[in-house]
Amino acid sequence: MKRTLIKNAIIVNEGKSIEGSVVIENEKIIELLTAEQEPTSPCNETIDASGCYLLPGIIDDHVHFRDPGLTHKADISTESSAAAAGGVTSIMDMPNTNPLVTTIDTLNDKFELMARKSVINYSCYFGATNTNYKFFEHLDSHKVCGIKLFMGSSTGNMLVERMKSLMKIFSDTDLLIATHCESQEIIKANIEKYKKKYSDVVDLSVRYHHLIRSIEACYQSSKLAVKLAKQTGARLHILHISTEKELSLFENKPLAEKKITAEACIPHLLFTSADYTTLGTRIKCNPAIKLKGNREALRNAVNSGLIDVIATDHAPHLLSEKEGGALKATSGMPMVQFSLVSMLQLVNEGVFTIEKIVEKMCHAPADIYSINHRGYIRPGYQADLVLVRPNNKWELTKDSILSKCQWSPLEGRTFDWKVDKTFVNGHLVYSEGRVDENYRGQQLRFR
């Protein structure tokens, strides 16, 4: 039996940061000790974590690993390795791959692929179309994290726009419905408007992206989703909220009492439209990054409780696919490897507390999706843990990037925190720059 003691860490968990130790036995945490307590069982390995912070592993409820079918951009092996290096121990993958995950067969194939290739724990959404709600009753709610619904088009063209279909989707499932909300009509009208205005250009500057995919486009679509959820009693989770205006649709009551929850993504918490000048289409994503006031409102909403979860919307493309402007360049950016250090940097800037980061990136996703035995540092829970080191300044350069696309919008930035070690089910998957590519994560189970 393998028993590992991680001692002298500052353990950030359930709203507190306390110096202490953790004992891992095989896959599980068996003891959580304060600094004064000694482990009750002898350990055959000791990791001295003095000066480090021990957090539950990050659970990212929103990634696009592009596998199967779009594997020139990314694949499950490369991206799960990048995730592990970033302290992420579980991901939920989106269905806009090729083939789309919109039938039971493609879903089963996807799970098989993830089991074969992922070095971290995983689940996957079932993609809704205008007509496939008949499959919902065959989905195993212990294995599928939710239904992904595009109420606005993005990579993969899975737009569901028929009102009758939307009504059916919202009424026909007890599974969580995760929505991408942007009104297609408003976007279309804006494209026409700007094309007419600048009829001599072949593409529009990326600086128009947030005017085309406007605040109103987000708000009207999110408002419709909330309305449908309230009418039907559906469990709604609106992904990547990007505007201050949408925040009025949510309530800051305790998470356990919510049937409608909201996610903010790292790009919208880090960047503003001013960054298009320096980063160009690298930060082009859907929904668009908007004027600065929205970023400040989102940050406040994370603190107030209007926003429940922080995720990445990790959506890699090749740099060559990012050529062009608002119309031609692809939307999405890689983020999963640097999400935790980016948020810890905001802790240093006084935007969030470290306890808040753990709440929004570990506890809340575990609670919202009812994930079995993960997301907290508790005896009996799976030992998904990340050890991070503060005051360890480093610069993000190309050679540190594990994502297949080999670029990051954060290149050149410096970070004070470094991910030191990542444990997945008690196994040391990432340590001091190396990923154990032979390890395979587990499929997430939901209560």
Q: Which residues form the interface with Zn ion (CB under 5 A)?
A: 313
77/97 with CB nearer Zn ion: 97
CB of 97 to Zn ion, least distance (A): 12
CB of 180 to Zn ion, least distance (A): 6
CB of 64 to Zn ion, least distance (A): 6
Q: Which two tokens stand for residue 87?
A: 């302290």
182/313 with CB nearer Zn ion: 313
Nearest residue to Zn ion, scored by beta-carbon proximity: 313
268/295 with CB nearer Zn ion: 268
244/313 with CB nearer Zn ion: 313
CB of 332 to Zn ion, least distance (A): 7
66/440 with CB nearer Zn ion: 66
49/283 with CB nearer Zn ion: 283
30/74 with CB nearer Zn ion: 74
Question: Which residues, listed in sequence order, are joined to residue 428 by a DSSP beta bridge?
Answer: 423
313/367 with CB nearer Zn ion: 313
